[in-house]
Amino acid sequence: EIVLTQSPGTLSLSPGERATLSCRASHSVSRNFLSWYQQKPGQAPRLLIYAASSRATGIPDRFSGGGSGTDFTLTISRLEPEDFAVYYCQQYGSSPFTFGPGTRVHIK
Amino acid sequence: QVLLEESGGGVVQPGRSLRLSCAASGFTFTDHGMHWVRQAPGKGLEWVSFISYDGNTKYYADSVKGRFTISRDDSTNTLYLQMSSLTAADTAVYFCASRTPIDYWGRGTLVTVSS
């Protein structure tokens, strides 16, 4: 099983600032099949990034993903008020399709 | 418009069974694999199970292997999760989700395992 570790656990930032979130895998993620999701309280997650760096349909270009192998990042170039949420990474290269524990981005 | 609607949640005693359903619409159900993902109260997401578009491939998280069974009925565009030997650790909102990577989610159904 691939274990995903996300850091930091919590990020305190102000609107307009840049956010950099990390997702590290215990083993190489096959074909870089790593996705990022945003979840707000009481809502289902929303797909932001798939295959490490491809933006999902309708996702603003301030969201970008990068990395390969075992180290991946999600960057939000300039935080908007609606971006304060919890972010999860998930690997879907090999079963079980594990999620990371999440990074909470909250307003400073 | 893709719509995934879960049902079947509720309060169940430890050791008992429960079956969740997910009615899918707005896309060609038979073209896509489907997932169940759960989220315990106040906790993160946990992937539970996957079934391929043709039903021939099924995967499970270690935490549910041997107790949960995923299935699909293509004639009614419905996904199922049969859960048995339930424990308090299975208490969660269960989301039905489509495709890989997951791009559509239902709103979830709450399962509470309690005596």
pLDDT top residue among A108 and A45: A45
- B44 contact A CB<8A: yes
Q: Which of B111, B104, B105 is nearest to B86 (CA)?
A: B111
The alpha carbons of chain B give a radius of gyration, in whole angstroms, of: 13
In angstroms, what separates the C-alpha of A48 from chain B's closest C-alpha?
Answer: 9
Quick one: pLDDT band at residue A2, thresholds 50, 70, 90?
very high
* CB environment B1-20: b (16+ within 10 A), e (fewer): eeebebebbeebeeeeebeb
Tell me the pLDDT tens digit for each residue of A51-104: 999 999 999 999 999 999 999 999 999 999 999 999 999 999 999 999 999 999
- B103 contact A CB<8A: yes
Tell me the pLDDT tens digit for each residue of B18-68: 999 999 999 999 999 999 999 999 999 999 999 999 999 999 999 999 999
Instruction: Verify whether the Cβ–Cβ distance A99 to B60 is below 8 Å.
Output: no
**Terminal C-alpha separation, chain A:** 36
Judging contacts by C-beta atoms under 8 Å, the chain B residues touching residue A88 are 44-45
Q: Would the CA dihedral through A60, A104, A68, A93 be positive or negative?
A: negative
Vertex A42: Cα angle to A99 and A94 (nearest 5): 15
- State the Cα–Cα distance between residues B66 and B17, nearest whole angstrom: 13
Judging contacts by C-beta atoms under 8 Å, the chain B residues touching residue A100 are 44
**In whole angstroms, how far apart are CA A30 and each of A23, A49, B80?**
15, 16, 28
Hey, which bits of A44-85 come out as E strands?
A: 46-50, 54-55, 63-68, 71-76
How many whole angstroms from its chain centre is CA B66?
15
In the predicted model, what is the mean pLDDT of residues B78-104? 97
The pLDDT of residue A108: 86
* Best of A97, A103, A104 to mutate (most B CBs within 10 Å, chain B): A97
- State the Cα–Cα distance between residues A13 and A103, nearest whole angstrom: 13
The pLDDT of residue B21: 98
In the predicted model, what is the mean pLDDT of residues A17-24? 98
- State the Cα–Cα distance between residues B21 and B5, nearest whole angstrom: 8
Instruction: Verify whether the Cβ–Cβ distance B95 to A96 is below 8 Å.
Output: no
Cβ neighbors of A24 (< 8 A, separation 6 or more) are A4, A5, A6, A7, A70, A71, A72
